[in-house]
Copies of this chain bind each other. A is one copy, B any other.
Amino acid sequence: MPRDGLTTDQIVRAAIDLLDADGLDGLTMRGLGQRLGCAATAVYWHVENKDNLVRLAVDELWREVRLPDLEANDWRAAATEMATDLHAMVTRHPWLLQALATHLVYGPGKARHDDHLFAVYERAGFVGEQADRAVGAVFVFVLGNAVGPAATVALNRRLRRDGGDAEQVLGEAVARATDLAASYPRLSARLPSPTDDVNAVFAGTFEFGLAALLDGLQARLPDQETAAS
């Protein structure tokens, strides 16, 4: 049992690793202790409880996200970059979606990110409530895109825990879907073959939707002519 060296930072980083692998329920204090080479309860000296640990982990994620240079780009490029970076982050850490849906989290990391978001959209010409709504719309769109990845993580966790062959389980799911889609020709035409990556269905949705959403927002700018360049 290595004595010293257990820091809050280490704990948060290990927690993020476990969360990435198995989602919000996959993080257990005992598992965390095992990974850190200490007793599960040792963590409680550094962190109040699991909820707060998750809060810390969430805020750590926000810190990871790059903020684009506001001077160098037009708002559209900056907004796209921020949304894309955020999407990459949430895809890598889909438990963030679960965390935001179950914890009231507002830490310094998110404040920093939010401020930059508002800067981009205000520079575009959005003012007041409209800026709030534009920022909010893009934000929830990005978050919604994490539902698929989160489900994939949850599925993998189930497979790892209950044993069971991934191929077989997925095959059965596809078979069930095929069965369900039988009465709907539009769905039958879209069924993924069992060899496909399940996530392939979602590929491209984000880029396509983001571009469309930003187009629509841009068209709603109070002063369109000056913003177009």
B-binding residues in A (CB < 8 A): 23, 25, 94, 97-98, 100-104, 106-108, 111-112, 114-115, 118-119, 122, 129-130, 132-134, 136-147, 150-151, 154-155, 173, 176-177, 180-181, 183-184, 186-187, 190, 201-202, 204-206, 208-209, 211-217, 219-220
Q: Quick check: A102 and B98 within 8 Å, CB to CB?
A: yes
Option from B101, B139, B142, B212 in Cβ contact (under 8 Å) with A94: B101
CA distance A155 to B129 in the complex (A): 25
Report the minimum CB–CB distance from A102 to chain B (whole Å): 4
Give the nearest-CB partner of A108 in chain B: B180
A150 to chain B, nearest CB (A): 4
* A144 neighbours in B (Cβ, 8 Å): 139-145
Cβ contact within 8 Å between B205 and A212: no
Q: Chain B nearest CB: distance from A191 CB in Å? A: 11
Q: Is the CB of A209 within 8 A of B140?
A: yes
- Complex Cα–Cα for A212 and B98 (A): 26
The answer, among B114, B145, B219, for a CB contact under 8 Å with A212, is B219
Partner of A141, one of B112, B209, B219: B209
